[in-house]
Each structure stands twice: as structure tokens, then as C-alpha cells.
């Protein structure tokens, strides 16, 4: 079954919500083993809320890198309490982390893009590979307007790294629409969003952004904008944008 794309034309919030409900429901039918990788940030809470409220058979998991802010980790308990359902958690291999830190240093990711990406590989990419085993599709909360690296983000694509389908249901949602949904349904969200963090990753790699700055300007702020991806959505140094 082919999935009809969400309209890229301007829509009202109600239409956005209805279109998203249809899209997620169709993904669940086409890929009953689909999994949603949640960062526990605002966009991901929109998808979490809809998946759990509609009781869709889409598994929700997150990656605990070992360097997440406490405000992010608290979201695991908030989701469990609010929705009555826990999020699966995948973590990096502790021995690999210890070896990496001993060899390079705990904060070596500040020294070079290569070391930073290697840290992301260890703490994010490897756990993601384990999380996606046995799944034919996965979902993300990425949006096109988040950064220059996501400007051409498709709603659906083929993930060449894992050889499965990949969906970005909020690709054409705006920042305003995300927060309108959160307010409309009273969705719990990360407290750091109220402290100037529109995008949240590992604590040492994330800072608040100044008014007018790009939404993801606080992620790996010491690097150039075109390198600010962790590798979860990159293969061989290039963003995977093979549309299906």
C-alpha cells in the first residue's frame, strides 16, 4: 500500500491534526511493526501524544546517551504517569563508552567534528541500530524549518543505512503549529523549552539560543551550521534524502 503524502499547502491546525492522524494510522496499517524514535522534545511529544491517544500500534523508544539533561530524563516518568505507558529506552554499551572516554577524554567532542561525530556514533547511532532491529519502518519528529540540513526533508523516504522505510510526519509543520498542538491538548513537554532551548540534545552539546537565532543554533554551536547533525539521519557524511 502506498501512503498518500500530507499536503504541503498551508493548512489550519484542525486540518493539520486530521491529516496527521490519517498519516499515522496509515503507517500503522502498512507497517504494523513501525517504531518511533523520540528525542522527548516538543515535536516528538506531539507524535507521542497522538500515537498514544489513538492507541496506534507504533512502538515508542528513546536513546539515553548518558549525557542527557535531567530535564529530558524526567520526561520518561512524565510520559508514563500522563499516558500510563512507558517509553522503551536504549543506551550505549557502557564498556565502549568507558574505553572511548579513556582514549579521548570525556569532552573530546569539542576538539573536532570527527571526534564529535564519533561520540554521537557511540552514544546514538549504535543504540539506534539495536532499537530498529526487527522493524520495517521508523518515524522521526524532524521538520524542514528546523535547520538548513533539513530543508528538503521528505515526508517519507528509504533509510539506506538500515534498509527500512522512514517517515517524518511533521516535516511540513511549523514551530508555531507544534506549540499550538501542545497547548490545545495539554501535552507535557521538556521544561528546557521554557528556558530558551527550542532544540535539545546532550547537555554539553546544547545551549539556549538568542532571540532571532536559528532553532538549532544551540546544537553543537561551535561547529558550522552544515555539520550540525548527529548522524542518526546521515549516511557516509550525507543526509539520506532518497524519497519513496
Cα distance between residue 141 and residue 47, in whole Å: 7
162/116 Cα distance (integer angstroms): 22
Residue 93: helix, strand or coil by DSSP?
coil
230 is catalytic: yes
Contact 71, 192 (CB under 8 A): yes
Pairing of strands 156-159, 164-167: antiparallel
Phi, psi angles (nearest 5°) of residue 42: -55, -50
Q: Catalytic pick from 119, 120, 205, 230? A: 230
CB within 8 Å of 83: residues ≥ 6 apart: 48, 49, 52
Pairing of strands 234-235, 238-239: antiparallel
Q: 3-class DSSP state for residue 139?
A: strand
Residues classed as catalytic: 230
Amino acid at each position: 500500500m502506498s501512503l498518500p503524502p500530507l499536503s504541503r499547502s498551508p493548512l489550519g491546525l484542525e486540518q493539520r491534526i486530521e491529516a496527521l492522524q490519517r498519516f499515522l494510522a496509515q503507517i500503522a496499517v502498512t507497517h504494523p511493526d513501525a517504531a518511533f524514535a523520540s528525542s522527548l522534545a516538543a515535536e516528538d511529544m506531539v507524535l507521542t501524544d497522538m500515537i498514544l491517544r489513538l492507541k496506534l500500534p507504533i512502538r515508542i523508544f528513546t536513546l539515553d546517551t548518558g549525557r542527557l539533561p535531567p530535564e529530558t530524563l524526567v520526561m520518561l516518568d512524565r510520559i508514563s504517569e500522563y499516558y500510563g505507558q512507558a517509553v522503551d529506552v536504549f543506551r550505549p554499551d557502557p564498556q565502549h563508552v568507558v574505553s572511548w572516554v579513556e582514549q579521548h577524554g570525556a569532552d573530546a567532542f569539542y576538539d573536532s567534528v570527527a571526534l564529535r561525530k564519533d561520540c554521537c556514533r557511540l552514544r546514538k547511532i549504535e543504540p539506534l541500530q539495536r532499537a530498529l532491529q526487527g522493524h520495517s519502518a521508523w518515524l522521526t519528529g524532524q521538520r524542514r524549518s528546523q535547520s538548513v540540513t533539513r530543508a528538503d526533508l521528505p515526508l517519507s523516504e528509504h533509510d539506506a543505512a538500515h534498509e527500512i522505510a522512514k517517515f517524518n510526519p511533521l516535516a511540513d509543520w511549523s514551530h508555531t503549529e507544534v506549540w499550538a498542538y501542545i497547548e490545545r491538548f495539554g501535552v507535557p513537554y521538556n521544561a528546557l523549552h521554557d528556558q530558551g532551548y527550542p532544540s535539545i540534545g546532550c547537555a554539553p552539546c546544547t545551549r539556549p539560543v538568542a532571540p532571532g537565532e536559528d532553532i538549532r543554533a544551540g546544537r553543537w554551536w561551535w561547529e558550522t551550521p552544515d555539520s550540525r547533525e548527529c548522524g542518526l539521519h546521515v549516511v557516509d557524511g550525507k543526509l539520506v534524502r532518497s524519497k519513496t
